[in-house]
Amino acid sequence: MNILFVCSRNKWRSTTAETIYKNHATHQVRSAGTEPSDRIKLTEKHLFWSDIIFVMEKKHRQRIIAKFGECITDKQIIVLDIPDEYQYMDEDLIEELNAKTQDYL
């Protein structure tokens, strides 16, 4: 399964998720951001590649739908409700990611 994690700037939350799941035995993982200042910009290519999309906040899902609506008609987008208050590889962030994705991974 191809899994995409999305946050605003692709610096802390989605990048942490990509890092902790990148060596998963049965999944391929990537991350991207929705803001002009993001590290890796979300593109149609990311969306076509993904089987499931995890977004950190509702606003990320809304931005994806607004910009790429035609590309995601058959995609499952899961809102994790993880606020932008963590640094890269924060232990609490890792715990929250594991807890909120365990039913899907």
What is residue 28's DSSP assignment? E
DSSP readout, 34-94?
SSTT-SSB--HHHHHH-SEEEESSHHHHHHHHHHHGGGGTT-EEEE----S---TT-HHHH
The length of the chain is 105
Q: State yes or no: pLDDT of 22 exceeds 90.
A: yes
Looking at residue 93, its pLDDT comes to 98
pLDDT (tens digit, 9 = 90+) per residue, 46-81? 999 999 999 999 999 999 999 998 888 889 999 999
Residues 6 or more apart whose CB falls under 8 angstroms from that of 35 comprise 8, 9
**Cα 80 to Cα 45: distance, rounded to the nearest angstrom:** 22
Q: What is the mean pLDDT of the chain?
A: 95
